[in-house]
Amino acid sequence: MLDSNKDSLKLEAMKRIVAMIARGKNASDLFPAVVKNVACKNIEVKKLVYVYLVRYAEEQQDLALLSISTFQRGLKDPNQLIRASALRVLSSIRVTIIVPIMMLAIKEAASDMSPYVRKTAAHAIPKLYSLDPEQKDQLIEVIEKLLADKTTLVAGSVVMAFEEVCPERIDLIHKNYRKLCNLLIDVEEWGQVVIINMLTRYARTQFLNPNINESLLEEGGGGEKTFYGSDEDEDEDEEEKEKKAEAAAMAKRKPYVMDPDHRLLLRNTKPLLQSRNAAVVMAVAQLYFHLAPKAEVGVIAKALVRLLRSHSEVQYVVLQNVATMTIKRRGMFEPYLKSFYIRSTDPTQIKILKLEVLTNLANETNISTILREFQTYIKSMDKDFVAATIQAIGRCATNIGEVRDTCLNGLVQLLSNRDELVVAESVVVIKKLLQMQPEKHSDIIKHMAKLTDNIQVPMARASILWLIGEYCEHVPKIAPDVLRKMAKSFTNEEDIVKLQILNLAAKLYLTNSKQTKLLTQYVLNLAKYDQNYDIRDRARFIRQLIVPTEKSGALSKYAKKLFLALKPAPVLESPFKDRDHFQLGSLSHLLNAKAGGYQELPDWPESAPDPSVRNVEVPEWTKCSSREKRKEKKVEKPFYSDSEGESGPTESADSESDSASGSESGSGSEGSGSASESEESGEVSVSEEDEGEEEEKKTKKRELKKAVQESESVRFPSLNVDFYLFLPVEPAPSPQVTPVNNLLSNSLVTDLEGLSLSEAVLALKSYELLHRITGEGLSVEYCFSRQPFSPDANMVAVQMQFTNSSTSDTKNLHMEDVKLQSGMRVKDFPEIESLPAGETATAVMGIDFCDSTQAANFQLCTHTRKFFVSIQPPVGELMRPVFLTENEFKKEQGQLMGMNEITEKLTLDAKCRNEHAIVQRVTTAANLSRVPCGSDREFAGRTVTSGSLVLVTVATREEGAAQLTINCEKMVIGTMLVKDILLALTQ
């Protein structure tokens, strides 16, 4: 079939081969027959051939090299998929001789018009670097170029290449930091994880520790005396005290102010906690844990608890990280205590991790509840889980003194359990607890001594013997008898038990030599000939220490101090205690050991690095003249040359020509500054199709437009008139607009009857720019008024409301230090000289967002303070409604098919299944105009800056089911817009 002349047979053959590969079967023998078809003209066959070659090019390098000229031709193919596939195959041939060819191909692909090809170029960079590390300098140049790419498709891949090739070149990230933060929400999930991990390490080098004041105070406050602290430690040096006092004073004197870029990262990653991808949620959680102020870390708790409903692999990783977090941030998980209760269906490793979390969360308040849970767990059939539960009880008893006796009594009761493992684990834990207060629990030691006849687990027997030897003075009658029994079974015991028998014998010889002298000599003689050299050495060592002879050294005098010295009680600690120095979510954190390729999490800098390195300079020509030049070009050569009525974006809104089919569209796309776009696009819904009524409709439109322009006292609401003129609402009293009624014809007034402009619909969404607490009494809110900004039609009008809640006047309110992305512009609001206490003032500023959702950052200044603020627009606020007839809509939609179209299926919200609700929600989410008389619900608009056309169709198929279609000249806008509209229609 591969040798056939028919493309259909070749295609069928390639489908079967790719299916074989997908099932894991070896298809390498077919390489010669497949590689011949790489030059096939059929695009579908060629795609599948490249898929095959990517899989086997490394194994069949010689044959792949014979076709390298074909791959190079593929790099010039008109189809972006073929260009990307050719580059992928080329980078899969692991032969150093073609390194120059690969380098040239990557450089060309990095400048390709298709973001998909540029993404593939980013993927090829680490492959080439691993093949020839000497190419690092040239690859860094390509990475630097791709980092400047503004496409979300490329961002994740190039950051991955950066991490593989040059993670130390942090300077490459400076200029792209803000862009990466703002693009993060739209990058694919794999890319989000990569970027978040990289930005975590970047932030640790560029920003100050947000908890620096707390850490200074902790250091200055002095710690508790260490266990091994001597009397000399009590007399602390005066210099140390002075340093700590100075640190505490400095912490109070210099309040920490978070860098705006640090805040930008935290703000832009927070929405990703709602991601459906567990890896993304974990990445954001580790970022907040390592970077956020203590007061803000709690937001990640709910998202992590939600992940516990996932499958066991996800639960395992989440619990590993939660266990680490609960050691330092216990309070944030306490409200979710019940989420960590163990289910009988949980795997053992999940049960043990949940036990770890519960133990870390235990405190005086909830310990009774947790111990009741533990009592249930001890009855489990899973022995490893039961052993872990007993250890957890021991840790709770160590950490919380109030329940120590309760836990100890409960563990003693377990000594009568039928299961040896339960008894053995209980003995080990009791031994550790008894070391804290041995004099109070001599009865328990006696009880455990009686268990030596029954317990056979070596660790448990060794623990009992150590306990009896260590506290033999508390059980003087029982200890010698235990040694007698152990001496009988010495030769049959395990090595760990034999060592403890030797220790017991030595301690009893030193404290009660009359009763145990002969027993000790007998045991030492048995050990002298033992097969294990450790036991033989220990026996010789002990004999020389406790049985003085002429040859004995000076050490024998100190035998009692050596064997009977007071030993510190063991501290039962969590195995996750010191794991937070590894980056959470990494393999090194999971293994608690540094894995290959792990990059250490940098320490916080002592002083803040220069924040200006992240400022992006905008060339003067882009600020001033680029917009005008683009306008001139658009006038000379329209985007769609075959559209008869399509007028340029600078066409006057006063044009009254109706001769061409699209003339009204042209005037509606860019209006004059005196009337809003919605007013210019006014239209009356007429369902008749004959030509006479079409003429009447156009006449009415002209009359309405003229009336609105002539009337200075009447302003329609900021939302476009098309939205209201086509609402199928119930008849209601018409609004009292006297000046317009005088100017409009009777028929037009009749058509406008029933139009209800409710205040609820007209309400514009307000956003908080400055909170009154942060602003020291000054609060600022802003909204996008959806009115044209009269000084510059390419700018979005932003209405700001200033409220002075303080007791003193605020003076000289103005803007400074505006930081914008390339191409963006801002028109400042007029300075407010004075805002009295308790008063409110409004102002309007204009921002040219350059058809992007990048934030405009600036300082809001008063006569005493400066506040860093930023305004980030929803994508719908970058739109301007434009009126299109149904025929014009279909014509424009036909020219924006294929790569310029996005289609999504959705289920409409129960409250959004009628005409009114759909139109209202779409128009609110995206400032678009409704197309009249369309078969489906159709909307049209243009972007404010470039005038790119945006067409939206909402087609309902059945009850609740619908299809959303967006045709857009700028696909970045379309991609962002589809999310907002989907959200509006489904919630």
Q: At which of 437, 457, 480 does a domain end? A: 437
My answer on whether 451 and 423 are in the same domain is no
pLDDT at position 217, please? 43
Q: Assess if residue 719 is contained within a domain.
A: no
Q: Assess if residue 273 is contained within a domain.
A: no
pLDDT at 142 exceeding the cut of 90 = yes
My answer on whether 388 and 450 are in the same domain is no
My answer on whether 869 and 799 are in the same domain is yes
Tell me phi and psi for residue 31, to 5 degrees.
Answer: -55, -50
Q: Assess if residue 743 is contained within a domain.
A: no
Q: Assess if residue 502 is contained within a domain.
A: yes
pLDDT at 957 exceeding the cut of 70 = yes
**Integer CA distances (angstroms), 932 to 339, 697, 728, 939, in order:** 53, 11, 12, 9
Question: Among 125, 114, 36, which Cα is nearest to 75's?
Answer: 114
**Mean pLDDT over residues 164-175, rounded?**
90
> What is the rounded distance in angstroms from the CA atom of residue 128 to the CA atom of residue 370?
55
Tell me phi and psi for residue 810, to 5 degrees.
Answer: -105, 130
Q: Read off the CATH number of the domain in which 915 is found.
A: 3.30.310.10
**Mean pLDDT over residues 466-487, rounded?**
84
**Integer CA distances (angstroms), 117 to 121, 153, 154, 847, 897, in order:** 6, 10, 9, 33, 21
Q: What is the pLDDT confidence band of residue 246, given thresholds at 50, 70 and 90?
A: low
My answer on whether 433 and 477 are in the same domain is no
pTM: 0.56
pLDDT at 748 exceeding the cut of 70 = no
pLDDT in tens, 594-615: 888 777 888 888 888 888 888 8
Return the half-sphere exposure (C-beta side, CA atoms, 13 A cut-off) of residue 75: 24
pLDDT at 120 exceeding the cut of 60 = yes
Task: Name, of 395-404, 832-841, 950-959, the range with top average pLDDT.
Answer: 832-841
The H-or-E segment that residue 322 falls in is helix 312-328
pLDDT in tens, 876-915: 888 889 888 888 888 888 888 877 788 888 888 877 878 7
pLDDT at position 214, please? 63
**Mean pLDDT over residues 453-470, rounded?**
82
My answer on whether 854 and 913 are in the same domain is no
pLDDT in tens, 313-332: 888 888 888 888 888 877 88
DSSP string, 873-939: --GGGGEEE----HHHHHHHHHHS-GGGEEEEEEE--TT--SHHHHHHHHHHHS--EEPTT-SSEEE
> Residue ranges of the alpha helices (H) in 68-168?
68-74, 80-92, 99-110, 115-131, 136-147, 152-165
My answer on whether 857 and 943 are in the same domain is no
**Mean pLDDT over residues 338-357, rounded?**
89
pLDDT at position 267, please? 92
Q: Assess if residue 76 is contained within a domain.
A: yes
My answer on whether 403 and 454 are in the same domain is no
Return the half-sphere exposure (C-beta side, CA atoms, 13 A cut-off) of residue 37: 29
My answer on whether 26 and 89 are in the same domain is yes
pLDDT at position 287, please? 92
pLDDT at 753 exceeding the cut of 50 = no
Q: What is the pLDDT confidence band of residue 445, given thresholds at 50, 70 and 90?
A: confident
pLDDT at position 252, please? 52
Q: What DSSP designation does 222 have?
A: -
> What is the rounded distance in angstroms from the CA atom of residue 112 to the CA atom of residue 145?
12
For 20, the domain range is 7-207
pLDDT at 757 exceeding the cut of 60 = no
My answer on whether 39 and 175 are in the same domain is yes
**Mean pLDDT over residues 238-255, rounded?**
57
pLDDT at 168 exceeding the cut of 50 = yes
Q: Assess if residue 470 is contained within a domain.
A: yes
pLDDT in tens, 792-807: 888 999 999 999 888 8
My answer on whether 477 and 560 are in the same domain is yes
Query: What's the structural domain count of the chain?
Result: 5
Q: At which of 512, 537, 565 does a domain end? A: 565
**Mean pLDDT over residues 922-927, rounded?**
87
Percent of the chain having pLDDT more than 90? 12
**Mean pLDDT over residues 355-367, rounded?**
88
Percent of the chain having pLDDT more than 70? 79
Q: At which of 164, 180, 207 does a domain end? A: 207
My answer on whether 24 and 108 are in the same domain is yes
Q: What is the pLDDT confidence band of residue 735, given thresholds at 50, 70 and 90?
A: very low
pLDDT in tens, 183-212: 999 999 999 999 999 999 999 999 888 887
pLDDT at position 162, please? 94
pLDDT at position 154, please? 92
Q: Assess if residue 558 is contained within a domain.
A: yes
Average pLDDT for the chain:
77
My answer on whether 71 and 140 are in the same domain is yes
Q: Assess if residue 409 is contained within a domain.
A: yes
Helix, coil or strand: residue 952: strand
Minimum mean pLDDT among 46-50, 435-439, 809-813, 831-835: which range?
435-439
pLDDT at position 239, please? 58
Q: What is the pLDDT confidence band of residue 684, given thresholds at 50, 70 and 90?
A: very low
Q: Read off the CATH number of the domain in which 798 is found.
A: 2.60.40.1230
pLDDT at 264 exceeding the cut of 80 = yes
Q: What is the pLDDT confidence band of residue 513, given thresholds at 50, 70 and 90?
A: confident
pLDDT at position 668, please? 39
pLDDT at position 160, please? 94
